[in-house]
């Protein structure tokens, strides 16, 4: 497939990236599928690995100049808001700096291409106090992660030429198998699984449970990304929320997980898990996504939580 059009995936080893890679293989069978990896050589079947570092401008420029990708999908990021609080400089280097270098290389060597970028609902920040956010909502980021994502959006819109088809997906909360315990729902599920095995005291440590969050299953997020990539849209600048439009109180989600277990547990607030500047509710408006693509989420919250708990039961049993 040397002469085939190239699809370049950046950030393929992350949570969403691993799920997306499987669907891209099916959606683009005629493409030469290449994944950028910093220090690994093994990836999903059907993918070619190229070694490179987003923070090394010369290596990124060389890779893009050789591949001249028809499609670039950029998922790579420092994705933990909690980490960003204590590592703001690195968050900016990766989320903004890495995006800047990749976009600059694409602008030079593959201007007539598609560039897909995953941003975040966090860019809306304090505007969530006014209710659910649509794509016209004022951006008011209130942490380093959100600010770096907003800056990356602006950089892409200005660096990539008009002929580049730019798709920016502002992803809201999502979960599923493979998401690590830095995030709330996997943390809850993993703790319950360990309690069931008798490997942990019957206590679940949590952060704020009063917040409302808009959750999707990772498979629904991936489906939205694929539909955005393949949508017939005249505008070469596409900005879309990827969300359900429904908020769920974190306490209710924890209670649902606990109800799926026969173990009796108590819940304890852990100050280390509290997030500074946490927003009471982050809910999005998916109207544009649905109108453009016809996308609808397939997973219910109950099925999403049950699958997540079963995943951690299996993983915990294997480890212990």
User: Mind listing the pLDDT tens digit for each residue in 278-306?
Assistant: 889 999 999 999 999 999 999 999 999 99
The residue with greater pLDDT, 44 or 309, is 309
Cα within 13 Å of Cα(195), Cβ side = 22
Domain of residue 35, CATH code: 3.40.50.720
pLDDT, tens digit (0-9, with 9 covering 90-100), for 137-170: 999 999 999 999 999 999 999 999 999 999 999 9
Looking at the fold, whether 184 and 256 belong to one and the same domain comes out as: yes
Please report, for residues 182, 239, 282, the alpha-carbon distance to residue 129 in angstroms, rounded to integers and kept in the order given.
Answer: 25, 22, 8
pLDDT, tens digit (0-9, with 9 covering 90-100), for 196-209: 999 899 999 999 99
Asked whether residue 140 is domain-assigned, the answer is: yes
Number of folded domains that form the chain:
2
Q: How far apart are CA 50 and CA 98, in angstroms?
A: 16
Looking at the fold, whether 15 and 130 belong to one and the same domain comes out as: yes
> Which two three-digit tokens encode residue 107?
């602008």
> Which two three-digit tokens encode residue 174?
């999502």
Looking at the fold, whether 65 and 145 belong to one and the same domain comes out as: yes
Looking at the fold, whether 99 and 192 belong to one and the same domain comes out as: no
Looking at the fold, whether 235 and 276 belong to one and the same domain comes out as: no
Looking at the fold, whether 27 and 45 belong to one and the same domain comes out as: yes
182: left (phi over 0), alpha (psi -120 to 50) or beta: alpha
Domain of residue 190, CATH code: 3.90.25.10
Residue with tokens 């544009």: 288
Looking at the fold, whether 207 and 226 belong to one and the same domain comes out as: no
User: Is this prediction's pTM over 0.85?
Assistant: yes
Q: How far is Cα of residue 21 from the mean position of the Cα atoms in its chain?
A: 13
Q: What would you measure as the largest C-alpha separation in the chain, in angstroms? A: 59
Cα within 13 Å of Cα(54), Cβ side = 24
Beta bridge pairs of residue 52: none
SS3 at position 313: helix
- Burial group, residue 278, by CB count within 10 angstroms (0-12, 13-18, 19+): middle
Q: How far apart are CA 207 and CA 191, in angstroms?
A: 13
Asked whether residue 188 is domain-assigned, the answer is: yes
Of 242, 258, 291, the one marking the end of a domain is: 242
| Range of the structural domain that residue 268 is part of | 178-214+246-281+299-319
Lowest mean pLDDT segment, chosen from 170-179, 227-236, 295-304: 227-236
Beta bridge pairs of residue 114: 71, 165
End-to-end CA distance of the chain: 44
């Amino acid at each position: 497939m040397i002469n085939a059009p190239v699809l370049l995936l950046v950030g393929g080893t992350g949570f969403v990236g691993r799920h997306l890679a499987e669907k891209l293989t099916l959606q683009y069978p005629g493409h030469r599928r290449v994944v950028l990896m910093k220090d690994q050589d093994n990836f999903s079947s059907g993918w070619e690995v190229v070694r490179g570092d987003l923070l090394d401008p010369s290596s990124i420029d060389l890779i893009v100049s050789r591949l001249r990708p028809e499609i670039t999908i950029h998922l790579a990021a420092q994705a933990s808001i909690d980490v960003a609080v204590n590592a703001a400089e690195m968050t900016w280097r990766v989320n903004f700096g890495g995006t800047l270098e990749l976009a600059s290389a694409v602008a030079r060597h593959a201007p007539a291409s598609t560039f897909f970028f995953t941003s975040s609902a966090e860019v809306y920040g304090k505007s969530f106090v006014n209710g659910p956010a649509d794509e016209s909502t004022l951006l008011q980021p209130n942490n380093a992660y959100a600010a770096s994502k907003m800056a990356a959006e602006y950089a892409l819109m200005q660096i990539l030429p008009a002929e580049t088809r730019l798709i920016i997906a502002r992803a809201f909360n999502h979960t599923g198998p493979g998401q690590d315990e830095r995030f709330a729902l996997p943390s809850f599920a993993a703790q319950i699984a360990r309690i069931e095995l008798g490997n942990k005291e019957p206590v679940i440590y949590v952060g704020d449970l009063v917040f409302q969050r808009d959750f999707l299953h990772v498979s629904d997020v991936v489906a939205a990304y694929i539909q955005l990539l393949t949508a017939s849209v005249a505008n070469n600048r596409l900005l879309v929320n990827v969300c359900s439009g429904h908020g769920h109180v974190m306490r209710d989600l924890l209670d649902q997980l606990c109800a799926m277990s026969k173990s009796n547990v108590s819940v304890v607030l852990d100050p280390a898990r509290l997030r500074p500047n946490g927003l009471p509710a982050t809910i999005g408006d998916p109207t544009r996504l649905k109108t453009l693509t016809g996308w609808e989420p397939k997973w219910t919250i109950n099925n999403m939580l049950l699958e997540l708990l079963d995943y951690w039961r299996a993983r915990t049993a294997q480890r212990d």
